[in-house]
Amino acid sequence: MQPLPATITPDRWILQLFSAKAVAEGGIIRRKVEDVERLVGRRRFLHEVRRRGFHAVENAGQFIVFCNQDPVDVLC
């Protein structure tokens, strides 16, 4: 993913995030909750995750997005 400019629009941030190599390969991406809320807002972020059929979890101030449509099982 390319470095962010000093000011970035929410649309541009979403575009850059979901253009990452990990997304294209069906991997995972991780972002700080505070950054997501500051840059695009939780609601918009989760809408974009759902729109793509992905799953997200939140833990310890991080969002982890599984960039595929496979089920997610929390094992313990």
- Please indicate, yes or no, if residue 58 is contained in any of the structural domains: yes
User: What's the whole-number average pLDDT of the chain?
Assistant: 93
What residues does 55 pair with on adjacent strands? Answer: 66
pTM over 0.85: yes
- Please indicate, yes or no, if residue 75 is contained in any of the structural domains: no
- Please indicate, yes or no, if residue 3 is contained in any of the structural domains: no
Number of domains in the chain: 1
- Please indicate, yes or no, if residue 5 is contained in any of the structural domains: no
- Please indicate, yes or no, if residue 45 is contained in any of the structural domains: yes
Confidence of residue 36 (pLDDT cuts 50, 70, 90): very high
Token pair of 20 as six digits: 């990452």
Confidence of residue 5 (pLDDT cuts 50, 70, 90): low
HSE at residue 69, side-chain half, CA atoms within 13 A, is: 4
SS3 75: coil
